Amino acid sequence: MPPLRRYPTEHFLNRELSLLAFNRRVLAQAADDRVPLLERLRFLCIVSSNLDEFFEIRVAGLKEQIKLGSPTPGTDGLPPQEVFRRVGQQAHLLIAEQYRLLNDEILPALAAEGIAFLRRTTWTEEQAQWIREFFLREVMPVLTPIGLDPAHPFPRVLNKSLNFAVELEGTDAFGRSSGAAIVQAPRALPRVIRLPKQLTGLDYGFAFLSSILHRHVGELFSGMNVYGCFQFRVTRNSDLFVDDEEVKNLRTALQGELPQRHFGDAVRLEVPDNCSETMADFLLQQFGLNREDMYRVHGVVNLVRLNSVLDTVDRPDLKYASFQPGIPKVLSKRYDIFASIRKQDILLHHPFQSFAPVIQFLQQAADDPQVVAIRMTVYRTGTDSVLMEHLLRAAKQGKEVTVVVELMARFDEEANLNIAARLEEVGAHVVYGVFGYKTHAKMLQVLRREDGGYRRYCHLGTGNYHPRTTRYYTDFGLFTCHEEINADVNEVFKQLTGLGKANVLRHLWQAPFTLHSNALAAINAEIEAARAGRKGQVIAKMNALVEPEIIEKLYEASQAGVQIDLIVRGSCILRPGVKGLSENIRVRSIIGRFLEHSRISYFYADGAENLYLSSADWMERNFFRRIEISFPILDPKLKRRVIKEGLRPYLADNCQAWDMDSAGEFAIRPKRRARSCAQDALLADLVPDV
């Protein structure tokens, strides 16, 4: 368990506000006219997706604390009520800027390129006729308008679904005159509809479903007068709760909980800026929300839906240049991947290098008659993963296939339930790890008959076994048949599938047992070196830094003279550059084309330069409530590669790097030297023909 010790609150920033600051950095990519136009739109969509999860989890948690009357402040000393107030202020400003960018910059720029979203006030007669026919043919048959009266109470509204509140006047055939109705848009309906080119004169002319329904909503209420039609969207608490004292079967319990996720407590209401005050108050009342929970937006209420446009529009000149990921030389000519791994450890750096060798590794393992067993952890792998198909085939062919499926992987629970069922159908051993601890470690191990005995091979990674995300997440993966590392991996699998005390691992650091203590010990070693007059240095790259004891140890290291560079993409509650506390600590965040996802820990160690890769951020949940591993890079050549590719370019970056000050504010520093962009440099160095 994490220590109970409390630290000075002024040493820490607020985690929720830090997450919003991260989304401001992402939004800055949408504002940057040097970014290809359609990619600017993509960044805008990413911000919306991030904010959805922020409200579903973080804001929902704050509201729960307030509801329960919890007075307990966070590490930063702020009580939940004050955090909620500040979060609301910042979120409203962020969303207002998001829509300003959309309406004032991105949409006009797209229109100039022949990609237009046609407002209903501008439809020509021919366009209006085509849209009416589309509405009558495709939309109206699947709509179920609900007039609100004693026999028709306010309907259950799905989390993040598109809905319309309609203000009416008049009486219907039964003499009813409630004055209001709700129309729910089925998720099967596209939110953006492309019109024929001959009608628009544009390569890509689109109409929003919301505009189409607004124009024709009167068709749903024959003989009534429609005075207003307002789209709205409610965001709900989506954190799943499974009682560890009551649950007997995690899979069954989760299957019972998942449907309720769509109907958790409301935390946010989005309405258009022209929504009447009467209707806004009515909706807030229905969802049990207050005015500060309402977000008026100038446009469609769900910008994530614009992602479909990115897939539709074929304009390579308005997107990042495509590339074909490279393959390490040791694999480029040798088909037998096991022979390649026996020759040397192999490091893959995604997305600059292909994920295909990982797929090939599993494919060959499934087909190789010498392979006896395959073990794998699954956290996020996608709904139609080729990796799962290879596991299924291996099990059908009689190999011992064991898969540790994490059923509590947030928002992937349903996909993982389906994967587990399919694997069990073909005889694979499916386990769900250790209840109360998410299995987040990324491990794939193969047992093969060789030379009268067995040899183990493994792949360890910093990212998920998800072929799609490896194309735009930066991650490292290691293939090795190193006996001691494989023995450690085997031991972790034994813990996950069986029972017994945890044995000492030779090389891996493992949460919840040794990852936290070993990280502290490694920083302590740098402190001792610095106090003795030797060089002390720590470089760490991660998604989030929020664990207080690690942060306090970094402060201690800074005061001892250890030079510390932290590359933290998202939330960071450490204060760098505070005189007498953290003068030797620098924090930067890289936001660019690819999502920085790899976790790297470097300790100078009197010149030994100990280097570890992991899927674990420096957070309490990763140290104490997850099963994680941090694995060393032992091969000197590969160690130099990780430093050269995973750390140095990001410390030198002066294009996509945001430097953090002691108040938690980020800024891109003025360039004082030649342009240096880490992601561009890695594309040039690792990808052929770029």
Instruction: Answer for the pair 146, 155: CB distance below 8 angstroms, yes or no.
Output: yes
Cβ-Cβ contacts under 8 Å for 74 (sequence gap 6 or more): 12, 14, 15, 80, 83
DSSP 476-516: EEEEE--HHHHHHHHHHHHHHHS-SPPPPPSS-EEETTTHH
CA dihedral 563, 567, 573, 575 (to 10 degrees): 40
Please state, in angstroms and rounded to a whole number, the distance separating the CA atoms of residues 590 and 237.
Answer: 30
Please state, in angstroms and rounded to a whole number, the distance separating the CA atoms of residues 455 and 481.
Answer: 7
Catalytic residue status for 466: no
Instruction: Answer for the pair 639, 607: CB distance below 8 angstroms, yes or no.
Output: no
Please state, in angstroms and rounded to a whole number, the distance separating the CA atoms of residues 378 and 416.
Answer: 8
Enter the tokens of residue 291: 């005015």
Three-state DSSP string of 325-370: CECCHHHHCCCCHHHHHHHCCEEEEECCECCHHHHHHHHHHHHCCC
Three-class secondary structure of residue 125 per DSSP? helix
* CA nearest to 457, candidates 429, 430, 478, 433: 478
Enter the tokens of residue 251: 């899979």
Distances in whole angstroms, Cα of residue 627 to Cα of each of 404, 436, 493, 622, 630: 11, 10, 11, 7, 10
Beta 266-272 vs 294-297: how paired, if at all?
parallel
Beta strands in 86-224 (DSSP E): 115-117, 146-147, 163-169, 180-184, 192-195, 204-208
The helix or strand, by DSSP H or E, that contains position 375, with its residue range, turns out to be strand 371-378
Please state, in angstroms and rounded to a whole number, the distance separating the CA atoms of residues 637 and 620.
Answer: 33
Please state, in angstroms and rounded to a whole number, the distance separating the CA atoms of residues 135 and 133.
Answer: 5
Instruction: Return the axis-axis angle of helices 250-261 and 413-425, rounded to nearest 10°.
Output: 140
Q: From the candidates 214, 216, 350, 440, which is the catalytic residue?
A: 440
CB atoms within 10 A of CB 674: 6
Instruction: Answer for the pair 484, 346: CB distance below 8 angstroms, yes or no.
Output: no
Instruction: Answer for the pair 368, 448: CB distance below 8 angstroms, yes or no.
Output: yes
Enter the tokens of residue 504: 């000492």
φ, ψ of residue 206 in degrees (nearest 5): -125, 155
Cβ-Cβ contacts under 8 Å for 595 (sequence gap 6 or more): 472, 473, 474, 569
The helix or strand, by DSSP H or E, that contains position 558, with its residue range, turns out to be helix 548-560
CA 5 to chain centroid, in Å, comes to 31
Three-class secondary structure of residue 690 per DSSP? coil
Please state, in angstroms and rounded to a whole number, the distance separating the CA atoms of residues 370 and 387.
Answer: 19
| Residues marked as catalytic | 440
